Chain A
């Protein structure tokens, strides 16, 4: 398409320059009329028809119908929020696994994604794996993904969704099927090895009203699920490295990092408390 486009552009511009430069009137009106017919009418019609046929022929294979087989009946429900992603792995006959801002996929197996939103329109896009699909309040869009090789891919929000639209991304990590299933099993259980003092502060300061940490009193559903926050590749929906310092910084003043974020700032807490909470969250592997 690129080469064809470049060739067409070059010939049109060459013709234009020639038409401007030519000195003698070498072309009769009839000959020029033929040029309009062939150059403006017939050539583009034929080219576009071929291109369209190719494009339409490609469509079903790029966007297979929803009922295509999915790996072990696994469905991943992704809900866009301002400005992060809620991710729920729904397996038949097992409890759903809730996560956020990171999607893991088995290599070589088709997975169906259910894409939703409950505030404004977002758009789900992993450029390396497939085209984008919008997440529209009141509708559920489906996308079936197939990762051919393992690796980590960035996925930005593609539909403008407000102040921090630019700061809304996620990582998609494609894993070997066996490793993927192992990972899924591990995430079905609460994280262990949590720092006790941090957990107490987390609960005391009311973080649990919005966030959920599996296996603890914190069962909020407004903000991202933090059950295994420590093991995620990035922090704050793909905008910070997942380190203890970054977590502390985010807790102290989310709005400075992500303008328009709904989480209130906690800079009134003593720094050592924030650090303890960060320690606890980083420990949720």
Chain B
């Protein structure tokens, strides 16, 4: 493969550009909103997340007004509780996590030298789901129906909460969590499979590394919460007693599941912001980052450690001291990789020469704030200190120092840094400095006194407090600071939103950065004009003619002859080009799917069962239509010329294809949720001397029969794939149909076990957890059966053939996971009671 092509005549270049522009163009009018292009979706996503942040910020100000003076009656107790619950919930779920997804969807393709992410429609689907779920959750407060049990929703308070508030929280956020997982799948596959040729994994921009880690963390952190949400909602809707101590449940299970999610969540929020810093600092130091492998290892280490810390949120629940000691130690140790990351930035600045600008101002101000949060974090990680500080304003101060210093300031630094990519103009330096000082000073005035308020014994989440305890003047100072901070945020918003047509366009790479995203021209929608071949970590610094060559179309895929949106799929480690992938274009199927699926969750909240069913059918049909028309398409020719002497296939299946990876990653997340439910089963076993409470189990025969039948169904799927690859179409169809029938039989057997023994899930937690495991498998079996029918239909329609077998590969992969789930579930519910 040559590294750069010959220059093309101008006329031909223009013709290529015309074709590319037409292919990647956005629709106009109202159809603009059906766009799936990563720039549009990223921008909408980020704007929506910022909108939710401002909304939650206003809620924060309401809290500060209420607490400005003791005994205030500005808000009622009930209103205050809704406000603080929503403040935390919205900031965490609708701003802090989605903003990273938004930025990633916007930045990742140009940074990797890709045209698009591998599944643009999935990205758009995620955005619309997020928007709908977010509006639903936020809107509830205007109807006095917002959740009021805190963003952590501890049962039994939250399971017993009256009204629909808690259901809105559970269902609205579950919906958003699903969207987050969808985004994680898309980002992981994007980073692993869609890099520019030559961008080996150790040449990847640090931002991509961080996103890979964070998306991986989402995959393991969110599913436990989804599992918890399922148990929680079953208790609220159908009175299954998972958290009810009087029927064998335990409120602490929720705390475990919540914090197994909740602590990694902090790093899911923090790491992408550090990733922005890792892009900004080298640019302003005008040199490559010092210690690339240090910072990557530190980020990976932080990711791993963050899953072993959750119990430090539970130091006061009365767990044995030995486990407190273990989790104290683990919590302290996470400070080490965090410290390494900060010192990498300092070292890079020391080794370079820093030009100072607004992004650096926000970045270094953020570090100064974050370090305080880190130091108080070290304090509260010590159990004896935490026994006093836990659930006081000390922790409120700590978490705001961590999140605002470690996330908000770097994100605003990122806004100032990357704004020229949106509009080809820089934001105002003058307003930027003003905003920074207002925010920095306001923040410290607001939150520093809270350390003291907390040490003086003020608990969190109180709507009022007595005036004689020495908390009053501290609270007043905090309120003043909060408003100063808010004015600073308002300055940033003004700067971003004010019209800038009068100002001259700046150059394409105003900061003289070294990474690929700075090649793209904001007014073109195609990402990169041609996909370059990369040889270094900072290609714009090291490959002098790169920008020119890219824009003259001298690299790969400079044209769109067939009028299709195309991207390059490369190999995971060394980024060898292996396929030209055609990605989905503009479509309203994403909006229809997201809204009908969202309507299911809304309807469930209000117990409108029939509406939920109808919307479920609509969502199902929309998704099947989407898959049928938009995926595993058979190209008109087997391969195409991509430029630079490379001819690449247009279709691939199995482990080299992006679809296989997406299925694999999704099922890992799905398996984690299932593992969390199994954890619940054994958790109940550990806390009771007889966890069955003398109740009948599902017996041995039926669970084992189900297990056997699912194993047969799985083997038939393997046989189907084998026959298909040998062109034995008829045998393949027979295998598929018999596998479908065996799946139905296995599901019936699985159901019959607990049913025939009259296991009543409302009587005790033991039947309830058995039913949940069984239902989990049954739902997955139903999905598996649908997939079998889908493959059958594709085969009959001639869309699944010997060479074009992507669907079958992915479905068999699903069935591998299905088999693991079925074997685990039925072995546990059938055999474990015997061992006991």
Contact = CB atoms under 8 A, between A and B. Distances in A.
B344 A40 contact: yes
Interface in A116-147: 119-121, 123, 125, 127, 130-134, 136-139, 141-142
Interface stretch (B387-395, B522-530, B806-814): B387-395
A55 B336 contact: no
B351 interface: yes
B156 A119 contact: yes
A51 interface: yes
A163 interface: yes
B656 to A, nearest CB: 38
Contacts of A239: 466
Contacts of A12: 342, 346, 367-368, 371
Contacts of B346: 12, 15-16, 19, 35, 39
Contact of B353 (A25, A123, A164, A166): A25
Interface string B362-390: 00100110011001101100111111101
Contacts, number: 233
Contact of A123 (B249, B316, B350, B462): B316
The DSSP consensus for interface residues of chain B is helix
Contacts of A32: 290-291, 347-348, 350-351
Nearest to A22: B350
A95 to B, nearest CB: 27
Contacts of B294: 33, 36, 40
A24 B350 CA distance: 9
B154 A13 contact: no
Contact of A62 (B354, B356, B387): B387
A69 to B, nearest CB: 19
Contacts of A142: 318
B321 A127 contact: no
B312 to A, nearest CB: 12
Contact of B252 (A9, A29, A125, A136): A136
Given A32-B348, A55-B328, A260 B388 contact: no
Contacts of A58: 384
Given A16-B364, A123-B316, A33 B290 contact: yes
Interface string A30-44: 011101100111011
A138 B318 CA distance: 13
B76 interface: yes
B383 A55 contact: yes
Given A16-B368, A29-B290, A45 B384 contact: no
Contacts of A160: 149-150, 154, 157, 391, 460-461
Contact of B375 (A9, A24, A158): A9
Contact of A36 (B317, B325, B347): B347
A158 B382 contact: no
A156 B390 CA distance: 13
A36 B340 contact: yes
B391 A131 contact: no
A20 B318 CA distance: 47
A160 B149 CA distance: 8
Contacts of B347: 27, 32-33, 35-36
A35 B465 CA distance: 47
A222 interface: no
A265 interface: no
Interface in A153-184: 154, 156-167
Interface string B153-168: 0101100100000000
Contacts of A157: 459
Contact of B335 (A48, A59, A159): A48
A123 B391 contact: yes
Interface residues of A, number: 76
Which of A9, A26, A28, A40 has the most chain B CB within a 10 Å cutoff? A40
A259 B385 contact: no
B251 interface: yes
B440 to A, nearest CB: 12
Given A40-B344, A48-B335, A59-B321, A132 B461 contact: no
Contacts of A139: 245, 250, 252, 318
B325 A48 contact: no
Contacts of B469: 154
B379 A162 contact: no
Contacts of A130: 387
B317 A40 contact: no
B328 A259 contact: no
Contact of B388 (A22, A132, A167): A132
A121 B469 CA distance: 25
B464 interface: yes
Which of B76, B317, B350, B371 has the most chain A CB within a 10 Å cutoff? B350
Given A51-B382, A120-B157, A158 B392 contact: yes
Contacts of B76: 259
B83 to A, nearest CB: 13
Contacts of A52: 328-329, 332, 382
Contacts of B316: 123, 131-134, 158-159
Which of B252, B347, B353, B385 has the most chain A CB within a 10 Å cutoff? B347
A48 to B, nearest CB: 5
A62 B245 contact: no
Contacts of B645: none
A158 B388 CA distance: 10
Nearest to B469: A154
A149 B459 CA distance: 24
Contact of A138 (B245, B336, B341, B386): B245
A98 to B, nearest CB: 22
B169 to A, nearest CB: 14
A164 B77 contact: yes
21 contacts: A9-B368, A19-B354, A27-B351, A32-B347, A33-B294, A40-B342, A44-B335, A52-B382, A58-B384, A60-B321, A119-B160, A131-B388, A131-B390, A138-B250, A139-B245, A141-B317, A158-B390, A159-B154, A166-B465, A167-B464, A260-B78
Given A8-B375, A15-B346, A136-B245, 11 more contacts: A20-B356, A32-B347, A35-B347, A41-B339, A63-B384, A131-B388, A132-B391, A137-B245, A154-B469, A159-B154, A160-B150
Q: For the complex of A and B, list the 4 residue pairs with the smallest distance between their C-beta atoms, beginning with the closest.
A: A131-B387, A138-B245, A40-B343, A166-B462
Interface of B: 76-78, 81, 148-150, 154, 156-157, 160, 245-246, 249-252, 290-291, 294, 298, 316-318, 321, 324-325, 328-329, 332-333, 335-336, 339-344, 346-354, 356, 360, 364, 367-368, 371-372, 375-376, 378-379, 382-388, 390-392, 457, 459-466, 469
